[in-house]
Every structure is written in C-alpha cells, then in structure tokens.
Amino acid sequence: MPDVIARLDDVSLYYGDRVILKNCSLDVVEGAITCIIGLSGAGKSTILRLLDGLRKPDVGHVYIRDIDICHISETHLNDVRRTISLSFQFAALLDSLTVGDNVALPLREHTHLSDSEIQKIVVDALDSVGLAHTYDSMPSELSGGMLKRAGFARAIVTRPELILYDEPTTGLDPIVTHLITDTIVRLRQKLNGTAVVISHDLQSIYMMADYVAMLFEGAIIAYGTVDEIKRSPNPIVQQFIQGSEVGPIPI
C-alpha cells in the first residue's frame, strides 16, 4: 500500500442550505501527483481549502499524515500548514514589491536564511518558471500569464511537502502551459514532493497525473491512473473527459 500524506475522510460541507461536499473521501498518495477534475462549481477549490486547513468540514475528518487537522490547536495547525503550500486560482502578488521580493516573502516569514541565500533560492524558483529576468520587475510590468507563473514560483519557494495547485495553467498559452506542467513533474521528481492539482486541461492532466479523481455532486465518483480513468465504464466520467453535451451530466 502506498503511503497516504493527506486524507479526506467522509467529509460533508455546506454553504447555508447548499450541499457542496457529501460523504466525500479522498486519499492523497505521498510522492504522487493527484489531479482533481470536475465541473465548474463542483467544489474542487473547496477540497484544497480543506486540505490546507483554511476551512473545516461540517462533518467528517481531514488528515495530514496521521493528524486530524480539524481538531488541533491553532498553533499546531500553523505548524502543519508550514509543510503545505496552496497556490491559489487567482494568486495575487503585492503591487508594492518587486517580483523577487514577492517570491521571497514566504522565506522571509518562515525561515532564518540570509539575504544572499534567499536571493539564490528565489532566482532558482523564478528560473524554474522561465521568469528569472523579472526578478527586479514590478508586478504591474508583467502579463497575466507571467503573474500566474510568479505566483507559482512563490508557492514552491519553501519546498513544501505537499503542494496544492488550483488551476495552475488556466488562461496560459500552450507553451507556458507545457512549461508549468513540466515544472510540476520536475519538482515532484526533484523533491519527492506530493502535489494535488486542480485542472480543466485534460492534456496536461494526462501528462502529469499519477492519479486522477473526479468530483461529481459532492463526492469522488472515480479514482485511478490516467489509463484507468480513460477506460472508466462510468458514463459520467466518459461524458466529462470527452466533453460531450450528451450524457447523464445535467447541463
């Protein structure tokens, strides 16, 4: 059995009367890339917020390793959260700081490294997303796609054990999409880190995923390798990955 680094255990979550997640369970395998797919509004970003301890479920448990992060002190939760990095769907850099200083922020906050050590790591992180030349630029000088990549560099700069990427390639051109997808794969290899990636881009999912989980109507209805998902007999999965208007998914 592979090691599980994070687990949603029978989680339900509501916003008012609306059920977002219902008896939802998911194991995140250590050292693997798990991609979550599902319709817009299905609750994918919510799952990342649960894994990062930003939200608590109404019912059920969320584990990071063996720690039930819904029932620990704030201090303990902060310690656990230091090993996790969430790269937001709409990551924003601080306008008043250079790109380099933005990426350096988590290192300045959470480590005691010297300025020259920090600079080296930041240059390396920016280089891994093809943005080394923007170190001294202000965010306002970057395109939307470049800002997204800079946010991505900031998320990986502390080399977290678990990285949660919310739509890392949405809105990027095919070449940058490939660069980011490749970076996620390389980071996993280099750090033996674990990643959970939410994406609507099936091509990059097929390129990077060790496991794919499909979220539908509040629960994970299919889970497996890329091949297993492609061959899934579940008509909901088939309709989704084929992008068909015809099938059981209500449109």
Q: Is 35 in the site for ligand ATP (CB under 6 A)?
A: no
Q: Is 15 in the site for ligand ATP (CB under 6 A)?
A: yes
Q: What are the tokens at 148?
A: 């997204």
E strands, 105-177, in order: 162-166
Total of chain residues touching ligand ATP, rule CB under 6 A = 11
Q: Which of 6, 7, 37, 46 is close enough to bind ligand ATP by CB under 6 A?
A: 46
* Strand pairing class (67-68; 84-87): unpaired
41 or 250: CB nearest Mg ion: 41
Q: Which of 34, 45, 134, 169 is close enough to bind Mg ion by CB under 5 A?
A: 45
| H helix or E strand, kind and range, residue 84 | strand 84-87
Q: Is 180 in the site for ligand ATP (CB under 6 A)?
A: no
**Cα 185–Cα 226–Cα 246 angle in degrees, nearest 5:** 125
Q: What are the tokens at 230?
A: 């492609």
CB of residue 206 to ligand ATP, shortest distance in Å: 19
CA 223 to chain centre: 17
Q: Which of 7, 28, 34, 43 is close enough to bind ligand ATP by CB under 6 A?
A: 43
The interface mask with ligand ATP, positions 72-111, x = CB under 6 A, is -----------------x----------------------
Q: Which of 6, 24, 42, 196 is close enough to bind ligand ATP by CB under 6 A?
A: 42
148 binds, among Mg ion, ligand ATP, none (CB under 5 to 8 A by kind): none
Q: Within a 10 A sphere around the Cβ of 160, how many other Cβ atoms? A: 22
Alpha carbon dihedral 161, 165, 169, 171, in 10-degree steps, equals -150
Binding site for Mg ion (CB under 5 A): 45
